[in-house]
């Protein structure tokens, strides 16, 4: 994260980003931004922030799921396996 620490307060630095969009997408973005009462820049900033946050949550969930896969899972035997005779009893 880029920024300046001033008297214990972290001030975020903003940078410009150039994006090329087709006319139809720009037109739709103007309409959405207008309905929300915000600028197109703010709309893009909020949507990118939302996508980045969602990805962070997804990555954390993925790591948790992978960690669970590394742990043994009891399928109801409670650690006791039947012997061969019980399995092949006729």
Instruction: Judge whether 1 and 12 are in contact, CB under 8 Å.
Output: yes
Give residue 90's pLDDT. Answer: 62
Mark 20-51 as b/e (b = at least 16 C-beta within 10 Å).
eeeeeeeeeeeeebeeeeeeeeebbeeeeeee
Residue 13 pLDDT level (bands cut at 50, 70, 90): confident
pTM of the model: 0.57
Give residue 54's pLDDT. Answer: 93
Give residue 7's pLDDT. Answer: 64
Specify the higher pLDDT residue, 1 or 8. 8
Q: Is the pLDDT of residue 42 over 60?
A: yes
- The residue extents of the domains of the chain are 38-66
Give residue 5's pLDDT. Answer: 57
């Amino acid at each position: 994260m880029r920024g300046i620490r001033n008297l214990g307060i972290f001030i975020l630095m903003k940078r410009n980003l150039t994006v090329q969009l087709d006319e139809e997408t720009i037109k739709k973005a103007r309409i959405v931004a207008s309905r929300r009462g915000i600028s197109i820049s703010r709309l893009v900033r909020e949507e990118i922030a939302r996508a980045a946050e969602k990805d962070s949550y997804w990555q954390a969930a993925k790591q948790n799921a992978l960690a669970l896969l590394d742990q043994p899972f009891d399928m109801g035997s409670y650690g006791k396996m039947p012997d061969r005779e019980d399995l092949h009893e006729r």
